[in-house]
Amino acid sequence: MRRPNDRLIAVDGVNGNAMVAAAKHLIAAEKKRRVGVSYWDASGIFGEVVVAEDSAGRPSARTLLLLYAADLAFRLRWEIKPALDEGLLVVAVPYIETAIAFGRAAGLDADWLSDVFGFAPRAGQRRLIAAPAARSISDRKGFVEFGCQQITGAHSGPPRRLLMRRTGSHLRAASKPRKAR
């Protein structure tokens, strides 16, 4: 397994606005270092999903995660890796754990999720933003909030709040230090 990159900071959570605020706080605190930042949907893929006709059919959790991985590949190529190569500290908002937690909450296999995201370097530092999803729909700007809206909007899958709560639980579990065997 590749070593984590100490200059890559992953900011994960379910509340998009809270994650962005946390990232800005992090960047402001690093006064002496140059910092790069990479936000969700830099590629614009999800913006295009939003404007698609209803008749196109809503994406499933698995489809959304493949799209998330495509967006992450874009972010790595154009934002994260170039900044790391320049010696910058890079804040990725969100990174892999958010996607994996969302997939687990939707019932997808953990091995499948980690394999799909196997192309991405591991972050050396991780921050879990504990804020729950925004109450108002207009304030829901993060991937988990978007994804829950997409897959519960058209299908009778797990209700939205339950899915968000489960995602939060998986994120908390993933952030706990693992006990040595």
- Residue 49 DSSP symbol: H
Q: Does position 110 bind another protein by CB under 8 A?
A: no
- The encoded tokens of residue 80 equal 């994260």
Query: Tokens 């991937």 sit at which residue?
Result: 143
Q: Does position 85 bind another protein by CB under 8 A?
A: no
- Rounded Cα distance between 172 and 12, Å, is 10
129 and 19 Cβ atoms separated by less than 8 Å: yes
Q: Which of residues 4-63 bind another protein (CB under 8 A)?
A: 43, 45, 48-49, 52-53, 55-57, 59-63
22 and 11 Cβ atoms separated by less than 8 Å: yes
Nearest approach, Cβ of residue 29 and another protein (Å): 33
Angle between helix 96-105 and 160-175 (nearest 10): 130
Judged by beta carbon, residue 22 or residue 99, the one nearer another protein is 99
Nearest approach, Cβ of residue 67 and another protein (Å): 5
Q: Contacting another protein (CB under 8 A), which of 32, 156, 178, 181?
A: 156
Q: Contacting another protein (CB under 8 A), which of 131, 157, 165, 174?
A: 157
Q: Does position 162 bind another protein by CB under 8 A?
A: no
Q: Does position 2 bind another protein by CB under 8 A?
A: no
Q: Contacting another protein (CB under 8 A), which of 24, 25, 66, 172?
A: 66
Q: Which residues contact 160 (CB under 8 A, 6 or more apart)?
A: 148, 149, 152
H or E element in which residue 5 lies: strand 5-13
Gyration radius of the chain over CA positions: 16
Q: Contacting another protein (CB under 8 A), which of 24, 34, 77, 172?
A: 77
Judged by beta carbon, residue 33 or residue 110, the one nearer another protein is 110
- Rounded Cα distance between 176 and 174, Å, is 6
Residues in contact with another protein by CB under 8 A are 43, 45, 48-49, 52-53, 55-57, 59-63, 66-67, 69-70, 73-74, 77, 107, 112, 115-116, 118-119, 151, 155-157
